[in-house]
Structure 1
Amino acid sequence: MKVVAVAFGCVLVLGGAGAGWLYWHLDRNIHSVDIDGALGDDRPARPVAAASPSATAAARPVDTSVLNLLVLGSDSRTGEENKALGGGDSGGARSDTAMVVHLDAGRTSATVVSIPRDTLVERPSCPTESGGTSAVAYGVMFNSAYALGGPVCAVKTVEHLTGVRMDHYLEVDFAGFAKLVDALGGVDVTTGEAIDDDLSHLHLEAGDHHLDGAQALAFARTRHGVGDGSDLGRIKLQQQLVKALMSKVSADGLLTDPARLYTVADAATGSLTADTGLDSLAELTGLARSLGDLTADSVRTVVMPVVRAPSDANRVVADEPEAGKLWESLR
């Protein structure tokens, strides 16, 4: 989310009448979904404790209270760009990456919890586009929630699984993610073992690598060429990539290059779908400002504790009580 902070910087650097047009363009890039309106009040409570907003002489107060966000990477399986990047030929949409991002009070540290897409869950009744509701489903794959009811059902399923209120929702699509990495000039990762995955089109020797957008996306998607071939191996790569991108943004000094700054801001906002509390450039930049002291080293990445599902060796279920203890620590 720090990447989005470049948006205001771009407007300020280029200035003048053009700034108004740039702000309008970047703001319109962001897709919006009304999670709160769709789900109403039948949700976990918001955290009671909150940090006082911090302020400096040069800026208005910034909210640094506890915050939980659901961040999804979507496999839309539609569109020529997504297809070329490995989206496939089938219709429908899936959430192949799901992370609950918990920002601690003060927002100088965070915990990122990955939920394996192959987790079997109880999917609650969700609102449908036709105005009705879906039936409760038991023992279905976690990512079926997004396929059935989009962001709204994904949020409701995560809240039902975790008991944690998702304050905000952010979704990044295939093509947008690849463009963002390219706009940043690529990202550096280190692999402890060779990756050889024909399905994701990724072939890397063990060692240090500089990845472009398409390679970074393949790195986040690959599962058959690393570890035991399960979703858990892919999650480790995704978490490594998140930290590498944070380090890249922090070290890049984008404000000294207005043209590149705009390219990054355009890619960042163009790749996003956000809830109505984060669907404007001003709101996203406010969030990014609150993360000014958050570094890659202060972000803890974990996977929801899971065990192999008794009913299907290719699926997993939450490992209780360990999973429950983890979610309790984030409330």
Structure 2
Amino acid sequence: MRVTSLAVVGVFAFAATAAGSVYYTLQNNIESVDVSALLGNDPAAPEEPTGITDPNAGLPISLVLLGSDDRSGVNAEIGGEDEGMRSDTTIVLHISADRSRMEMVSIPRDSLVEVPSCTMTDGTTTDATSETMFNEVFSRGWNYGGDIDSAVGCTVKTLQSLTGLTIDGFALVDFAGFQDMIDAIGGVSICIPEDIAAPDAGLYLTAGQQTLDGVQALGLARARKGTGANMDGSDLNRIGRQQELLAATLRTVLDKNILTNTPDLLKFLNAATSSLTASPELASLPNMSGLAYSLRTITSDKITFMTIPITTAPSNEYRVVWTSEADTVWANMVADQPIVTVEEPEVADPAATATETPDTSVDPATPEETTPVETKDPGQEAFTSADTTAVCG
């Protein structure tokens, strides 16, 4: 009995040590950056975790997701070495208070916007500017402040000024981190409508349903120029492909039950956290776990993607400005309302339809004239994660 007791204690001690080691590894993978002081906010005192709980339960959450083109270290091997740092991918993610809805709104990098004065970590400030390309905001903070804190702080402050939202946190991922996350879930299945050749991104794909590995997925997310699939250099078309790729990734995570399979989940989390820089709220594993757990019942048709409504800038045909529809999107998000309202089609009264007399005044051989419908750039249309499941061909 004494030997058995010691063995049981040994097993539990080993399990506890292993769990603690995994927790330590994952937690220390994440680089935490607190920009609250740069925004004029007092940093919140950290709360002691009490199990898997959502620290913001019952409250809506607005986050900023940033894709960094950092070209140092391992990222230089992927994208080529280059100085400075930019963020060509910016997505505002809103999670409803009841955790039943997620909405992701992409910001085109070529948007001309009003940029407020930003405070750097060394206490210096930048001048407020107008008609500034949104892509410049992140690099301005990096160039003047010399660190991620200043770059992200300026981006968050600008977004809050433009949208009226309170940004609750951010996450920044680089090339290597994105590749590793895709490989960790075994790749993503996505429909490629036509052959793609994008030499600058090292991307060559054939048309059809494809399962992309990390290298291919990153190439699809980065590519702008080439042949096939609207590779015309447009940032808007690239945003559309990025949104479809994110939707496919979310579907893969949900379909493979990765969130409930411990080995797969640990592999995914290790990849996801290894190249992640986040605000303290998201850099905490208990907080992330609690938020993820509160979203466990969300379905793909409740995850909406869209690009903020835009039009060509009057001052520059190669730049864009946000339309009045953008104001409605941000106002709905601030009010925690769906950013897209789906109108239910009117259903005709069966009794009235049955007694109607057909109108024979129109010659059936002569087609009626129709009014052309204006088409928007596909990148501006909202869609859900469930909408991208169409079969190729």
What is the distance in 2 between the residues matched to 1:23 and 1:125? 39
What is the distance in 2 between the residues matched to 1:297 and 1:39? 35
What is the distance in 2 between the residues matched to 1:137 and 1:274? 27
Q: How does 1:96-111 map to 2 (within 5 A)?
A: 96-111=88-103
Tell me the residue number matched to 1:286: 290
Matched, 1:75 2:98: no
What is the distance in 2 between the residues matched to 1:280 and 1:241? 26
Residue 16 of structure 1 and its aligned partner are, at CA, apart by: 2.3
Tell me the residue number matched to 1:248: 252
Residue 91 of structure 1 and its aligned partner are, at CA, apart by: 0.6
Tell me the residue number matched to 2:77: 84
CA contact (8 A) 1:246 1:295 kept: no
Residue 273 of structure 1 and its aligned partner are, at CA, apart by: 1.2
Residue 312 of structure 1 and its aligned partner are, at CA, apart by: 2.2
Pair 1:126–1:292, CA change in 2 (3 A): same
Q: How does 1:1-331 map to 2 (within 5 A)?
A: 15-41=15-41, 63-79=57-73, 81-86=74-79, 88-149=80-141, 150-225=151-226, 226-227=229-230, 228-254=232-258, 259-319=263-323, 321-331=324-334
CA offsets 1:257-284 (integer angstroms, 9 cap, x no match): 6554432221111121111222211111
What is the distance in 2 between the residues matched to 1:162 and 1:127? 19
Tell me the residue number matched to 2:144: none
Residue 240 of structure 1 and its aligned partner are, at CA, apart by: 0.7
Pair 1:75–1:163, CA change in 2 (3 A): same
Residue 214 of structure 1 and its aligned partner are, at CA, apart by: 0.9
What are the ranges of 5 or more consecutive residues in structure 1 without an aligned counterpart? 1-11, 43-57
CA contact (8 A) 2:52 2:293 kept: no
What is the distance in 2 between the residues matched to 1:240 and 1:257? 25
Identify the structure with the greater strand proportion.
1
What is the distance in 2 between the residues matched to 1:164 and 1:65? 13
CA contact (8 A) 2:179 2:215 kept: yes
Larger radius of gyration: 2
What is the distance in 2 between the residues matched to 1:289 and 1:255? 9
What are the ranges of 5 or more consecutive residues in structure 2 without an aligned counterpart? 1-11, 43-50, 142-150, 335-393
Which letter does structure 2 place at the counterpart of 1:316? Answer: V
SS of residue in 1 equivalent to 2:281: coil
Pair 1:60–1:69, CA change in 2 (3 A): closer
Percent identity between matched residues is 42
What is the distance in 2 between the residues matched to 1:177 and 1:78? 15
CA contact (8 A) 1:116 1:231 kept: yes
Pair 1:255–1:298, CA change in 2 (3 A): closer
Which letter does structure 1 place at the counterpart of 2:211? Answer: H
What is the distance in 1 between the residues matched to 2:332 and 2:18? 46
Name the structure, 1 or 2, with higher relative contact order (CA <8 Å, separation 6+).
1
What is the distance in 2 between the residues matched to 1:61 and 1:261? 19
Residues 203-212 or 60-69, more deviating: 60-69
Pair 1:257–1:169, CA change in 2 (3 A): closer
What TM-score does the superposition give when structure 2 sets the normalisation length? 0.72
CA offsets 1:284-305 (integer angstroms, 9 cap, x no match): 1111112112222211111111
Residue 138 of structure 1 and its aligned partner are, at CA, apart by: 1.9
Which letter does structure 1 place at the counterpart of 2:65? Answer: V
Q: How large is the RMSD of aligned CA atoms in angstroms?
A: 2.2
Which letter does structure 1 place at the counterpart of 2:254? Answer: S
Which letter does structure 1 place at the counterpart of 2:121? Answer: E
